[in-house]
Structure 1
């Protein structure tokens, strides 16, 4: 078995001048590094207690890998992904790579300026899940508009909010495997009491 640091070194050294080389490097990243990084991430948090989530709403961009860490660790019973139409392939990769049950996964595409649609989707999903159990929102894949909008909606519905923190590789702009940290954003609810 090739050690972790050596696999990272191999990936960093792969040529990425042509479309074919980029594809090879991306496949190596996805098939060799991400699974190991997910295992290391789970091991880092193995002694930490997390709530059991009936559902989790996920903001997804073009990179499914960024969401896989918190979803894989928290293991919600259901997920509802909110993304742009062009990011649907990333949704398929997330479901396939985490081996999620299709009947427990929903995906809603929204337009770029769809904050009101985002609010509607989060409210409707919260109303459905709330009677079944606790739910959360992962804002890792959100863009500059959707991220704060989803966090505000989560605060209104008293849903837990998560985000994945990581370093970026300078060359590929992908996140650097092994640098992932879970951030749970503290609820505003205790501060609202008179």
Structure 2
């Protein structure tokens, strides 16, 4: 059985109205909490509550969640995780304004910029979700080694992103007939 969304309780409303929680450690925006319950079959037959704290910046995607047997325990667990994550980032003293993407300026893909990719995602990418983040010092060191590698502040680039559709992943006939590609997650689940 899927998660059933719960109406906001007093704690969640208080978090929405105030700065009860620390700001997002990645982008500096506020955070919201939302709770759900799963009444479906679980090992102990008791419902399972889930509380998620998410950054209010939809481009950030930072979130933590906690699953517990009561809503209150799930909420307190999520708060504990969020606060410890924020504290850890403060200890690391790396703010978003000190993070950089690194552009390989030797070429482009269509109109898209090529960024250094995270390890395990190939050498370069146009998808910022797979782009590697560098500290100021790391980005500057790479630029000094190869001037065609251009450091860009993460905040600046993130503010200028837009959704795009890659023509390699669309098929007009497939779209009109309602067929799903063989590698579709939906076809694998039997939907």
**TM-score normalised over the length of structure 1:** 0.25
Larger radius of gyration: 2
**TM-score normalised over the length of structure 2:** 0.25
Higher relative contact order structure (alpha carbons within 8 Å, sequence separation ≥ 6): 1
Tell me which protein shows more strand as a share of its residues: 2
Tell me which protein shows more helix as a share of its residues: 1
